[in-house]
Amino acid sequence: MKITFAIILAITSFAAGAQVVWHNPKEEGARLHNQTLTEEARSNYYHRLPDRVEKEVRTPVWNLSKNGAGLSLKFYTNSPQIRVRYTVGEGHGFPHMPSTGKSGVDLYGYDENGDEKWYAARYNFADTINYNYSIPYPHPMHELGYEFELYLPPYNTVKWLEIGVDSSAYFKFIEPSLEKPIIAYGTSITQGACASRPGLIWTSILKRRMDAPLVNLGFSGNGRLEKSLVDIICATPSKAVIIDCMPNMAAMLDVIAQRLDSTVRAIRAAQPDVPILIADHLGMPATAKWDGLQKGVEETMKIQRATYEKLVAEGFTKLYFLSYDELAMPMDGTVEGVHPNDIGMMAYANAYEKMLRKMLYEPQGEVSSQIPRRQRREPHVYEWRERHEENMRQAREQQPDLVLIGNSITHYWGGSNRAFGSDTWEEKIAPLNVVNLGMGWDRTENVLWRIYHGALEGFSAKRIIVTLGVNNILAGRGSEVVPGMEMIIDAIRLRQPDAELVINAIYPARNREQEIAAVNIELEKLCRAKKVTYKNFGIKFLGKDGKINEKYFSDGLHPNAEGYRLIADEFIVNSALNN
């Protein structure tokens, strides 16, 4: 229903005479997302690869690297209209791929709860291409709008681009994440042929599903496992590497084994722990098996599979294979028997997501508390994404002994610009070499997202204390707290195996004391089953009648300075920091 609403509004007329402010990302110093080797010089801001690579790759690869496949711009705005205008260097369409797919842009948004939205546009393809969007903001929690991502043309070179918003609107470009990207190296299918729009390329779908940076190294007709491209992959610290080159190797059977072997060995030498996924040829529908070509397709599959099995037999670990059967390309999933249409792109993304969640240990559950997602519920106080990035920087630089994970109660204790217990924090907690990973308004699913996206990487803590769940309860989802906490426990243990993990009970809140107590009983049972330390620091907040003692709270939910002082010693003694 939300997506339908956005589409309906997008085809209505724009307000006449609205004053527009145009933002040029290059001139404003914004950085493109999903670009590799970003510290190196580029003569064109919108090229995928830096200039020095031109001398190292074949000319067709260099020319294709000028196309914007996988690149995007991210920004915040509350503008009711968003306009995009730009020019490109080549023709708008292909015979088998529409202008919206080859040369168009594509806009997605995320509301305060992380719900994804796609926006239809009124567009016009001329010397200057124009896309116009109307943006509804139903039931906003704040006045600072949504986060948006604009995908760039996958098969054309952007010369210049501007984003226009209403003159009274808030607007801010978003910097790329510190998180390591997934890298996809492949053919025209990876580059985007033949999706109807950029957001429906399988790499774009996968990027949204995993909600992680993804570098698209797809080169139409030129995914050939070449050393020059492998060197780029090796030089880019990665979360995972996908190799999907077989559709371009059917005429190069004699070099497949050697090149694939060399590719895997080079990546593993440069990045010993990175998972590598080798993808099978997508095959051809039974109704499109052309004489001569089908035999080559079958041979590539045999040679690649044999090479993979040889590497595994040698002892290579974190090496995975996505088979033809697992790709499960539908009969009508291609445009002409070779390139996926939107149906085929979705099938591709489904298969890759299933495999990547296994490779990266990022499972999803069935209820909302188990489905990792971002949030932006109070940007007027702090920007959630920016705090996540700053927390990662701080943790990697500081190398903390103690990590506190939680919601606003943890966040606003101390160590930030907005603190209600700063005296106690500085006196008792800060000396413990602590990093505060509390985030206002976080629920279990938001913490799970942060863990999956680098919050606990780059350091080894001695102790991690988690206090979480009240915001799930306040949202009417108390029954989902324990399932969400179970996934958080598993995720923390996997990423910080040497840390002592302490689960602190949910603090009591005004008029919610009994409900919270009931959830805490189940939380304690979970901790016993998982053999995790369980503590209840917040019991001190309760009076003899089982209600909260109001003198320790500022609003019935958040402790005041006296409340934080009451529980401070519990973090030192009861969490066994002195053992």
Q: What pLDDT sits at residue 294?
A: 73
Q: Which of 329, 22, 379 lies closest to 165 in space, CA to CA?
A: 22
The pTM for the full model equals: 0.94
The identity of residue 100, as a single letter, is: T
Q: What is the mean pLDDT of residues 305-309?
A: 98
Q: What is the mean pLDDT of residues 454-476?
A: 97
Q: Which of 168, 204, 164 lies closest to 68 in space, CA to CA?
A: 204
Q: Which of 469, 557, 547, 536 lies closest to 514 in space, CA to CA?
A: 547
* pLDDT tens by residue, 530-561: 999 999 999 999 999 999 999 999 999 999 99
Quick check: bond before 527 cis, omega within 30?
Answer: no
Residue 10 pLDDT > 50 = no
Domain at 177-360, CATH class: alpha beta
Q: Where are the domains of the chain?
A: 1-34+70-174, 177-360, 368-374+382-573
Q: In this structure, what token pair is assigned to residue 254?
A: 């004699």
Cα torsion through 517, 522, 528, 529, rounded to 10: -170
Alpha-carbon gap, residue 379 to 475, rounded angstroms: 19
Which one is the CATH code of 368-374+382-573: 3.90.1150.10, 3.40.50.1110, 3.30.300.160, 3.40.50.300?
A: 3.40.50.1110
CB 504 within 8 A of CB 536: yes
Q: How sure is the predictor about 471, in pLDDT bands with cuts at 50, 70 and 90? A: very high
Tell me what percent of the residues of the chain surpass a pLDDT of 70.
94
Q: How sure is the predictor about 287, in pLDDT bands with cuts at 50, 70 and 90? A: low
Q: What pLDDT sits at residue 131?
A: 98
Q: Which of 42, 199, 20 lies closest to 121 in space, CA to CA?
A: 199
CB 210 within 8 A of CB 243: no
Tell me what percent of the residues of the chain surpass a pLDDT of 90.
89
Q: What pLDDT sits at residue 503?
A: 97
Rounded to the nearest angstrom, the gap between the alpha carbon of residue 455 and the centroid of all alpha carbons in its chain is 13
202 vs 338, residue with greater confidence: 202
The identity of residue 1, as a single letter, is: M
* pLDDT tens by residue, 129-172: 999 999 999 988 999 999 999 999 999 999 999 999 999 999 99
Alpha-carbon gap, residue 405 to 463, rounded angstroms: 11
Q: What is the mean pLDDT of residues 203-228?
A: 98
Q: What pLDDT sits at residue 65?
A: 98
Residue 455: partners with Cβ closer than 8 Å, 6 or more residues away: 388, 391, 392, 395, 437
Residue 9 pLDDT > 50 = no
Q: What pLDDT sits at residue 275?
A: 98
Q: What pLDDT sits at residue 290?
A: 56
- Of 249-253, 291-295, 377-381, give the lowest mean pLDDT range: 291-295
Domain 1-34+70-174 has CATH 2.60.120.260: yes
Q: What pLDDT sits at residue 577?
A: 45
CB 548 within 8 A of CB 542: yes
Q: Which of 121, 137, 18 lies closest to 78 in space, CA to CA?
A: 137
Cα torsion through 393, 396, 400, 406, rounded to 10: 50
* pLDDT tens by residue, 15-43: 445 799 999 999 999 999 999 999 999 99
Q: Give helix then strand counts, H and E, for the chain.
A: 18, 20
* pLDDT tens by residue, 88-141: 999 999 999 999 999 999 999 999 999 999 999 999 999 999 999 999 999 889
CB 79 within 8 A of CB 169: yes
Quick check: bond before 194 cis, omega within 30?
Answer: yes
Alpha-carbon gap, residue 239 to 529, rounded angstroms: 31
What mean pLDDT value characterizes the chain? Answer: 93
3-state secondary structure of 516: helix
Asked if the domains 1-34+70-174 and 177-360 are classified in one and the same CATH topology, the answer is: no
Q: Which residue has the tokens 């496992």?
A: 225
Q: What pLDDT sits at residue 536?
A: 96
Q: What pLDDT sits at residue 573?
A: 61
* pLDDT tens by residue, 383-418: 999 999 999 999 999 999 999 999 999 999 988 777
Alpha-carbon gap, residue 214 to 210, rounded angstroms: 9
Rounded to the nearest angstrom, the gap between the alpha carbon of residue 20 and the centroid of all alpha carbons in its chain is 31
Q: What pLDDT sits at residue 570?
A: 87
Residue 1 pLDDT > 50 = no
* pLDDT tens by residue, 353-367: 999 999 999 999 999
Q: What pLDDT sits at residue 395?
A: 97
Residue 11 pLDDT > 80 = no
Instruction: Indicate the DSSP class of residue 21.
Output: E
Instruction: Indicate the DSSP class of residue 334.
Output: B
Residue 195 pLDDT > 70 = yes
Q: What pLDDT sits at residue 418?
A: 75
Q: What pLDDT sits at residue 286?
A: 55
CB 206 within 8 A of CB 215: no
Residue 321 pLDDT > 90 = yes
Q: What pLDDT sits at residue 6?
A: 46
Q: What pLDDT sits at residue 284?
A: 64
Q: What is the mean pLDDT of residues 420-439?
A: 94
| Element of type H or E holding 263 | helix 256-270
Instruction: Indicate the DSSP class of residue 532.
Output: -
Q: What pLDDT sits at residue 163?
A: 98
Q: What is the mean pLDDT of residues 232-253?
A: 96
Residue 441 pLDDT > 60 = yes
CB 434 within 8 A of CB 410: no
End-to-end distance of the chain based on CA atoms, in angstroms?
54
Q: Which of 464, 461, 467 lies closest to 567 in space, CA to CA?
A: 467
* pLDDT tens by residue, 477-530: 999 999 999 999 999 999 999 999 999 999 999 999 999 999 999 999 999 999
Residue 288 pLDDT > 70 = no
**Sheet of 434-438, strand order:** 434-438, 402-406, 463-467, 500-504, 533-535
Give the number of other Cβ atoms within 10 Å of residue 479's Cβ: 14
Residue 453 pLDDT > 80 = yes
